[in-house]
Amino acid sequence: MNLSFSKVGQLLGGGSGIGELMDDLGNALAHAGPDMKMLGGGQPAQIPEINQIWQKRLTEICADESASQKMLTTYDPPKGNPEFISEFAKLLRETFGWEVDPENVCLTSGGQTAFFYLFNLLAGVMPDGSKRKILFPLVPEYIGYAAQGLDAEIFTSLKPIIEHTGPNEFKYHIDFDKLEVGPDIAAICVSRPTNPTGNVLSDAEIQRLSEITKAKGIPLIIDNAYGAPFPKIIFNEITPHWDKHVILTLSLSKLGLPGTRTGIVVGSPEIISAISSMTAIAGLANPSIGQQIALPLIKSGEILRISEEIIRPFYKEKSLVAQAAVREIFSDRFPWHMHRSEGALFLWLWFPGISISSAELYQRLKARQILVIPGHHFFFGCDDPNWQHRNECIRVSFAMQESIVRDGLTIIAEEVAKA
């Protein structure tokens, strides 16, 4: 067969960092033995109290014929389940005082899908032939964004300021002095907390970005997959932010429901209408299971309580334990730094001056049954080939059992020491 792919087909079908990650994770889960240490993905931890809530909800749904039918046998509108949307908008109004109505909310098949829609809706080739881009004011950023543009040059990004905040600890900051938002910028996008580093942009930084984008008449997109108000995997106090020019995305995944593929978008009615149209074209409707499981927790506000009282302290403790393990195991064996852990599920480790790239370190670790994520994937849109920092970092998940994390860090230390 003389098969050839279109330009779009080559972009989407030619491999990517996120594809490599998911292939490795999937193959490891399916075929690897008990010694494989899964420190690479964003799989949330198994939290017994949270799993009990899902088991209880599934039992309730199965006992209710109407609820079962809604979940399994009925299409929702492309925008999402009307009751879920209405209750979610009400939760945001009553909790934060935001002017959010059902017209400001829609569902997508996971947060990843939401960003594919948003990026290609706002940026790329415009009707007048000009090109517009998504600006990331702080890299490294989420690996899953990197290959989502139908135009290969849809993204641009800004190198961070690196502040050394303590012994072997550092933190990235937005370099506002170098932040330029020209007419070719369609939107600014940040994640809060940032995947992969666990960085949390301050209220002042978010407010400044919001003022910049509002003045330019463009959206500020905030990826809230790990943040407040839920699942609140965030270890310092911040204020959630939304305005009429802000697009806020949330997800049920890090609550403990990644398999339901339920993303939530809060934005202007024009954005919501467009995403709903894209959903109808690409997939008819969204999965119903996550919406039906979470609906009573949205109605009652229980979703906020479990995030604050169960999920947040669980991950904060895991972060502290993992950081202590890094300091103990790495000690002074080689140069290393760790990004200040302010949220999310990861430690971001920097090995300045290491003689091999993060990609080669990744391969060496995989050969020893340790899966991490090489750092270079997270610096997309940043074109400086001489900036070695982006080849000196890896992302390590601390969501697994403590013994697995320790064993993985021990082998990482051995391989870095040999490099």
What is the C-alpha separation between 286 and 276, in angstroms, rounded?
A: 10
What is the C-alpha separation between 171 and 314, in angstroms, rounded?
A: 23
Percent of the chain with pLDDT over 70: 95
Q: Which two tokens stand for residue 396?
A: 């390590």
Residue scoring higher pLDDT (36 or 413):
413
The predicted-structure confidence for 293-304, as pLDDT tens digits, reads as follows: 999 999 999 999
Residue with structure tokens 């550092």? 170
What is the C-alpha separation between 223 and 249, in angstroms, rounded?
A: 5
Query: Bridge partners of 248?
Result: 222, 266
Residues 6+ apart with CB under 8 A from 69: none
The predicted-structure confidence for 90-140, as pLDDT tens digits, reads as follows: 999 999 999 999 999 999 999 999 999 999 999 999 999 999 999 999 999
Residue 86: how many other CB atoms lie within 10 Å = 15
Do residues 240 and 246 touch, judged by C-beta distance below 8 A? no
What does pLDDT average to over the chain? 93
The predicted-structure confidence for 339-396, as pLDDT tens digits, reads as follows: 999 999 999 999 999 999 999 999 999 999 999 999 999 999 887 878 999 999 999 9
Do residues 107 and 267 touch, judged by C-beta distance below 8 A? no
Name the DSSP letter for residue 140: S
Residue scoring higher pLDDT (398 or 151):
398
Residues 6+ apart with CB under 8 A from 384: 159
pLDDT score at 27:
66
Domains of the chain with bracketed CATH: 7-46+306-418 (3.90.1150.10), 51-303 (3.40.640.10)
